[in-house]
Amino acid sequence: MATGFGFDRDAVVEAARQLTNVRSELESSGQQTSRLAPTGSNEVDVALQDFTTAATRHQTSLVAAVAAATARLDGVVAGHAQLDSSLGSQLPTNQPSKGKTHE
């Protein structure tokens, strides 16, 4: 029913699935980060550590944003199902009514 309004459930489900994969890849790449070896220069070591800390913070924010987008898409699918069910229950059926007839 609600698909008549231009909603492509399969496309939304696929987008949510792809975002879930992106999130998994981001989380996996974050776990692969190894401890930096000393370079022999305190300034370079501090700069590399600052960069690593900022990159990890950014990655954490990105994972959270992807998770939020996935949750919203899941909500769209659930809302679509609820709307479709609600609209479907409002439509008359071809079954004869059980009551007075207007003849």
**What are the extents of the domains in the chain?**
9-30+49-86
Distance between CA atoms of 58 and 75, rounded to whole angstroms? 26
Average pLDDT, the chain: 82
**Is residue 102 a contact partner of residue 66, using CB atoms and an 8 Å limit?**
no
Can you tell me the distance from the alpha carbon of 35 to that of 52, in angstroms, rounded to the nearest whole number?
10
- The CA-based angle 62-79-8, given to 5 degrees, is 80
Q: What is the pLDDT of residues 6-22, one digit of tens each?
A: 778 899 999 999 999 99
- Confidence (pLDDT) at 69: 95
Average pLDDT over residues 92-98: 65
Residue of 98 and 22 predicted with greater confidence: 22
What is the residue whose two structure tokens read 């879930």? 20
Q: Percent of the chain scored above 90 by pLDDT?
A: 34
Residues present in the chain in total: 103
Residue 69 and residue 22 in contact, taking contact as beta carbons nearer than 8 Å: no
pLDDT tens figures, 30-68 = 666 667 788 889 899 899 888 888 888 888 899 999 999
Predicted TM-score (pTM) of the model is 0.64
Distance CA 59, CA 73 (A): 21
